[in-house]
Amino acid sequence: MSNDLELVTIEEAAQIVGKTPANIRDYIQRGRIGKYNEEGEPIQRAANGHLRVSLKEIRVFLSLIEQGLEKHHHAGLHPELGFYDVPEYQRTKHVHRLHPYLGKFIPQLVEWFLARYFQADDVILDPFMGSGTTLVQGNEMKMHTIGIDISPFNCLIARVKLAKYDVIEARAEILEIERRVTTFSKYLTRSQEVNLSLFPEERMDGLKESLLAECQSEYLRTWFAPRALLEMLYYRRLIQNYRYQDLLRVVLSRAVRSSRLVPHYDLATPKAPLPVGEQYWCRKHNRYCMPIDNCITKIHAYSEDTARRIAQFDKLRSDKATVVIQGDSRNVNLPAELSNTPIAGRPIDGIFTSPPYVGQIDYHDQHIYAYELFGFPRQDELEIGPKKRGKSKQAQEEYIDGISAVFRNILPFLKPDGKIFIVANDRFNLYPEIARRSGMKIVDEFHRAVTKRTEQGDDPYQETIFFMMKAG
Ligand SMILES: C[S@@+](CC[C@H](N)C(=O)[O-])C[C@H]1O[C@@H](n2cnc3c(N)ncnc32)[C@H](O)[C@@H]1O
């Protein structure tokens, strides 16, 4: 079977037929070619790294297009909202890639809607802010933005993206702390490059002991190699000496995430730590890989990168208000939260948001390493539609209740003709009922193919952007 189909990965197919991987995902999304496992059996969902496509099918499909017998855009998908031609570096431009976040949308999607339905100086609210994509894009377009999120770490990421920095000082701090941890790391590994007599054995032992004494977390002790753990604990200790502490926390958290004892192909949802120093077969790189044993490599990788990204955004950011509120959108008191801001008392012109979907992601858990490292309080039980509660009928009912409660809480502060855009993968068709219970009407629906949400696997899927307004 598999021989007949000529099974290859998406990347291989793209290379062979001279298309981009996004094109191939798009063909799958439109149902023009099938999805297979490595054995050539048709499948609905593919685990990361296991999706195969048939070269034969692709060639047939492309030849039909050439003959004018097939059209690309006949699946009801909006042709402009696929953003197939937007390369990865644009989707993750400047601060949008300061920290990984499972489930963020791309800034180009936000830009498309804000540009068509709003104008400079409008006030835009995102009640499920996540890592702050709506706020960053809105700010760039000279709009005031407000974001609410239940997860304290998501709020930290968003604040760090949006903050105004003295970029020269911020860069100096990032590079100085990197240099200090590099020196520490060299002592740890007894590198010939450092003068070990300057840092005698007893002092080093004392330092290691005191760092480990600061680490109560079983998680950190289990998911990191001993050297990686010491390096990140040392970095964490140094942060207090600097001005831009949250920025440094984000650099460290990003490095720590990439330094976990997890396989390269499963950074987003690892199940268990790998044994230190033992090779594993890596589905991402198609070879044996070694789990990472240190953190400094990733600190190097992300330090300069972070300094560059905040400097890029600094040139684009406007002076419009950006307000990040940590709380439950079902009961946040918006007027009170805004009372000390430049947009106090202003009605909201529009909402642009992507709520959690039923049973897909545990938003606190995806950043467990950061919660363990910095000790932020967790509010998992207030997440709407978390993965751990599943997708059962009851979970769907709770989800409808939760999302409706959010809109009922914020709609009183939206202008009567305010526009609401909700990005949702509504496979259970829950949003018509959510609209009804919240006092909203659906004005229009845009369908788009999602060919690559960060690290969400190979599977393309469809999502809807509901355009709603207040009913009546
Ligand atoms: C799909 S994500 C939003 C991603 C965002 N658009 C981005 O680009 O980063 C949904 C967010 O809703 C948040 N959330 C879940 N329940 C919430 C609640 N009760 N109140 C506020 N935020 C909540 C989650 O923490 C998560 O960050």
Domains of the chain (ranges plus CATH)?
A: 2-66 (1.10.1660), 88-157+318-366+377-470 (3.40.50.150), 167-259+294-309 (no CATH)
pLDDT in tens, 30-86: 777 888 888 888 888 887 788 999 898 888 778 767 766 555 444 567 778 888 778
Can you give the pLDDT at residue 398? 98
**Atom of ligand 1 lying closest to residue 382 CA:** 19
Q: Is the CB of 328 under 6 A from ligand 1?
A: yes
**Atom of ligand 1 lying closest to residue 363 CA:** 25
Instruction: Please return the burial class of 285, using the count of CB atoms within 10 Å of its CB with bins 0-12, 13-18 and 19+.
Output: exposed
d(CA 118, CA 235): 43
H or E element in which residue 376 lies: none
In sequence order, which residues have a C-beta less than 8 Å from that of residue 305 and are 6 or more positions away? none
pLDDT tens sequence for the chain (472 residues): 345 778 999 999 999 999 888 889 888 887 778 888 888 888 888 877 889 998 988 887 787 677 665 554 445 677 788 887 788 899 999 999 999 999 899 999 999 999 999 999 999 999 999 999 999 999 999 999 999 999 999 999 999 999 999 999 999 999 999 999 999 999 888 766 666 666 667 778 889 999 999 999 999 999 999 999 999 999 999 999 999 999 999 999 999 999 999 998 888 778 889 988 889 999 888 999 999 999 999 999 999 999 999 999 999 999 999 999 999 999 999 999 999 999 999 999 999 999 999 999 999 999 999 999 999 999 999 999 999 999 999 999 999 999 999 999 999 999 999 999 999 999 899 999 999 999 999 999 998 877 655 444 555 667 999 999 999 7
Q: Which of 157, 383, 401, 461 for a ligand 1 pocket mutation test, highest count of atoms within 8 Å of Cβ?
A: 383
Q: Is the CB of 22 under 6 A from ligand 1?
A: no
Q: Is the CB of 404 under 6 A from ligand 1?
A: no
Phi, psi at 422, each rounded to 5°: -120, 115
Q: Is the CB of 48 under 6 A from ligand 1?
A: no
For ligand 1, the distance from its centroid to the CA atom of residue 245, given in whole angstroms, is 24
Q: Is the CB of 148 under 6 A from ligand 1?
A: yes
ipTM: 0.99
Q: Is the CB of 362 under 6 A from ligand 1?
A: no
In sequence order, which residues have a C-beta less than 8 Å from that of residue 381 and are 6 or more positions away? none
For ligand 1, the distance from its centroid to the CA atom of residue 471, given in whole angstroms, is 24
Residue whose pair of structure tokens reads 């600190």 in the numeric block = 299
For ligand 1, the distance from its centroid to the CA atom of residue 357, given in whole angstroms, is 9
Q: Is the CB of 357 under 6 A from ligand 1?
A: no
Q: Are the beta carbons of 73 and 442 closer than 8 angstroms?
A: no
H or E element in which residue 159 lies: helix 152-162
